[in-house]
A and B are shown apart, each in its own frame.
Chain A
């Protein structure tokens, strides 16, 4: 996948300027090829066979009628697969290629029909007869923890696991200090819930697999092409060199497209049929494929009389689906930083990853932090209300200064976060008078950037001075391709329209661990920077030889080779040095963060993504509807390599945060069927839901580990949307809500309770 984009006229310092998105022209003209636009000769269309049931024991699968449909080529069932049914997964190899004896969530595929046309595949799938017996499903934290609950995963799948006879996949315990020794003036306790929400990338999930004598080839808009390559190599016992992943740009991913889901199934079908097999899910099927982990969090928080946080005592229960995907790490990584960007003298954090008969939850922008942060940040507001402080002052009292620890012994605060908080407060007009009925809220959040991994890049400086940048990142809308081109433009003195960034082909492009955790600007950005510096070293040698000067006297800056006698453009040096038979200069670069086996997360944060969000809002007391007047987010970004893209990412995250705060929730019936599949019954924000005054701002101190001082961005602006808006609602109405989303119905109901004669002042009493 390559693309070019026009020079915005700021070649010498492309970095830091709002250059237009590389690939943007293709997207506005419809020329961009997404996976569903890939057409291969003899390609078969695949339709999944699923049950309209949450959990079921499969008694019999009769495929004979499906084969009577003209065009149906193959029907894959578990009986066609090796025994036992192969399982895979990024952390736990627990997900079967097809349901193994039992469907464990609504929509889990039982069989798959490959046919010459989409119509034939659908007709064939409708004719597969599955006899099944519905089984009781475990759908909530409490139900899963009931000692009498059915086990979601058979204990045999969890050998050596002391929790194997429970539905708790893992329990993590973090903490420091001694909360029992603390002598707080005030302890507040609360229980908070965060619903299941789904990613709803506008591009439905899909992939194509093809098999031939060279091995397997996949077309998948996957965030981690090299992980897909590795997992398929392992599953099919092939060398990595014979598994090729072509990764078209995802049409939105948000974590949902990190890990392989249907690619193994498609590979089996491709091997059986000898033809490329393509599966593109419907939106309803996509709802049944990915979601965010739901959570119930209980917190006790101690404060000093002055409002300093003295401890948090946290019990987090995150509801995973039937298979772990990467969700156990979601729980661990987010809860490790549960106490947020503050000095907290003592903490006890118990976080459990709990299996259920629901859609397998996976990574989703924020990676577990919005859930825990909803609870812990809301606790600060509870404390502030009880102590007569406001949301800003209670946070500023405990906010970690740069260099102070947030988790003792780990990477300390890596930014001047107070600047972001004060900027957000100023933008929302924190201390200015409010119109009647309006309220304000403010909240903070931090998320750990990537903790480990390797990104490699090769940069090819061609004879005419144009440049190919090879980078294995997936550009899913965050604009990685643009950032990478900007770096190369500045380092190699090439106009942006002479740079092409080659991505999405594991056969050509060097390794990148993954596209996640807002890592790419820092990890791949540094790899590209280092590759350019490798080219600089070669240019210095070339220039020294060419012009007969000492190599120590040669430097390369701003796209020019600097000699004692004057400066020459890089391309001129390349051409003079390589001569008429031509050639190119190849640079290789790496950023590697090695494992730290003793660290609870396997590595410490490369950076923190810090955000402060503030709202001014009012509530229609007749309808419970929340009207947002101001929505401010400020990120501590280190350096905005492309301010336009940083703002766009933060605006997008902010709006996505409004989704889970105001309207989004997957609703199940008692048997585990999803009731609100689709865009009308599951609402996401539209143009009419977006605050008119939404401002995404940044603090830039060039104090990040990425190129030119950058940190990762893209997730910060949804870390604290919910607590900030709920605090504004509480400020406006006196009503404190601890369950999301803040639908008009829920807000209205709380308003009625408050107005009831027996209501306690301000809020429902906190639950112990």
Chain B
């Protein structure tokens, strides 16, 4: 099995690893770096649960090989904030009741964060488009969209 040494930055910290050439970034994040906030559902790029940010762009970490991120910057949900020091987006998800079971939520929060970085003042339609690759079976979509708009400062404080 071919292995490769990679150097990357994960959530601001430089990391050096030796990984199998076939291993997806998702597995390396979860299994080697113990960053289990990134979730695995479909593992074939269809559900968005494993979304992370690589050099400013959202990617399905199940589809990207770990060797592809050598020399690049990866941000996972853990890099956005933590309990007691949540990001604006994470706080907005909480405040707007956008969380139910929570399994899709890390990927959703990462996608939404990336969306706002690209478009700081999106319309509701742009948010729907931007998050359409993140599946939520609990059906929290409208509250998720409201949370993103709130984080962008585009929504009234109270949607209920």
| Chain A, range 220-260, C-beta contacts under 8 Å to B | 249-254
A282 nearest in chain B by CB position: B43
Whether A28 lies near B137 (C-beta < 8 A) is: no
Chain A to chain B contacts (Cβ below 8 Å), 21 pairs: A20-B95, A24-B102, A26-B102, A27-B102, A27-B106, A28-B106, A31-B83, A37-B30, A202-B41, A203-B103, A204-B41, A249-B102, A252-B137, A283-B43, A283-B47, A477-B101, A477-B102, A647-B160, A648-B138, A648-B143, A686-B132
Q: How far is the CB of A455 from chain B (nearest CB, A)?
A: 21
Known: A28-B105, A30-B36, A204-B41. A651 touches B46 (CB 8 A): no
Q: B95-123 CB contact bits vs A (8 Å, 1 = yes)?
A: 10101111111100100000000000000
Q: B29-52 CB contact bits vs A (8 Å, 1 = yes)?
A: 010001111111111101101000
B153 close to A (CB within 8 Å): no
| Contacts beyond the supplied A30-B78, A39-B34: 6 A-B pairs with Cβ under 8 Å | A21-B94, A36-B40, A37-B30, A202-B137, A686-B133, A687-B127
A29 close to B (CB within 8 Å): yes
A658 nearest in chain B by CB position: B139
Whether B129 lies near A688 (C-beta < 8 A) is: yes
Q: How far is the CA of A18 from the CA of B158 in the complex (A)?
A: 12
Interface residues contributed by chain B, number (CB under 8 Å): 60
Known: A24-B94, A30-B76, A648-B143. A201 touches B137 (CB 8 A): yes
Whether B49 lies near A30 (C-beta < 8 A) is: no
Whether B41 lies near A203 (C-beta < 8 A) is: yes
B21 close to A (CB within 8 Å): no
A644 close to B (CB within 8 Å): yes
| Chain B, range 120-160, C-beta contacts under 8 Å to A | 124, 127-129, 131-145, 160
| Chain B, range 19-71, C-beta contacts under 8 Å to A | 20, 27, 30, 34-44, 46-47, 49
Q: How far is the CA of A201 from the CA of B124 in the complex (A)?
A: 26
Chain A interface secondary structure, helix, strand, loop or mixed?
A: loop
Whether A283 lies near B42 (C-beta < 8 A) is: yes
Q: How large is the interface on A (under 10, 10 to 19, 20 to 34, 35 or more residues)?
A: 35 or more
Query: Which of B40, B97, B141 makes the CB contact (< 8 A) with A690?
Result: B141
Whether A252 lies near B97 (C-beta < 8 A) is: no
A656 nearest in chain B by CB position: B139
Known: A28-B90, A28-B94. A652 touches B138 (CB 8 A): yes
Q: Point out the residues of chain A lying under 8 angstroms from B43, CB to CB.
A: 282-283
Whether B82 lies near A656 (C-beta < 8 A) is: no
Q: How far is the CB of A40 from chain B (nearest CB, A)?
A: 13
Q: Point out the residues of chain B lying under 8 angstroms from A113, CB to CB.
A: none
Q: Which of A509-517, A677-685, A745-753 contacts B (4 or more CB under 8 A)?
A: A677-685
Known: A251-B101, A651-B140, A690-B141. A37 touches B160 (CB 8 A): no
Known: A28-B94, A679-B47. A477 touches B160 (CB 8 A): no
Q: How far is the CA of A653 from the CA of B99 in the complex (A)?
A: 14
Whether A25 lies near B86 (C-beta < 8 A) is: yes
Known: A23-B102, A30-B36, A251-B103. A688 touches B128 (CB 8 A): yes
A37 nearest in chain B by CB position: B36
| Chain A, range 1-39, C-beta contacts under 8 Å to B | 18, 20-21, 23-34, 36-37, 39
Q: Point out the residues of chain B lying under 8 angstroms from A27, CB to CB.
A: 99, 102, 105-106
Q: Point out the residues of chain A lying under 8 angstroms from B91, CB to CB.
A: 28
Known: A201-B101, A647-B160, A687-B145. A29 touches B78 (CB 8 A): yes
Whether A25 lies near B137 (C-beta < 8 A) is: no
The 8 closest A-B pairs by CB, nearest first: A30-B37, A251-B103, A27-B102, A477-B101, A655-B139, A652-B139, A679-B46, A30-B77
Q: How far is the CB of A425 from chain B (nearest CB, A)?
A: 22
Which A residues fall within an 8 A CB radius of B? 18, 20-21, 23-34, 36-37, 39, 118-119, 199-204, 249-254, 280, 282-283, 476-479, 643-645, 647-649, 651-656, 678-680, 684-688, 690, 692, 694
B109 nearest in chain A by CB position: A28
Q: Point out the residues of chain B lying under 8 angstroms from A654, CB to CB.
A: 139
A280 nearest in chain B by CB position: B40
Q: How far is the CA of A640 from the CA of B24 in the complex (A)?
A: 45
Q: How far is the CA of A28 from the CA of B78 in the complex (A)?
A: 9
Q: How far is the CA of A25 from the CA of B99 in the complex (A)?
A: 9
B80 nearest in chain A by CB position: A29
Q: Point out the residues of chain B lying under 8 angstroms from A283, CB to CB.
A: 41-44, 47
Whether B106 lies near A690 (C-beta < 8 A) is: no
Q: How far is the CA of A251 from the CA of B83 in the complex (A)?
A: 20
Whether A651 lies near B142 (C-beta < 8 A) is: yes
Q: Point out the residues of chain A lying under 8 angstroms from B86, CB to CB.
A: 25, 28-29
Query: Which of B34, B99, B145 makes the CB contact (< 8 A) with A24?
Result: B99
Q: How far is the CA of A251 from the CA of B136 in the complex (A)?
A: 10
Which residue, of A32, A199, A476, has the highest number of chain B Cβ atoms within 10 A? A32
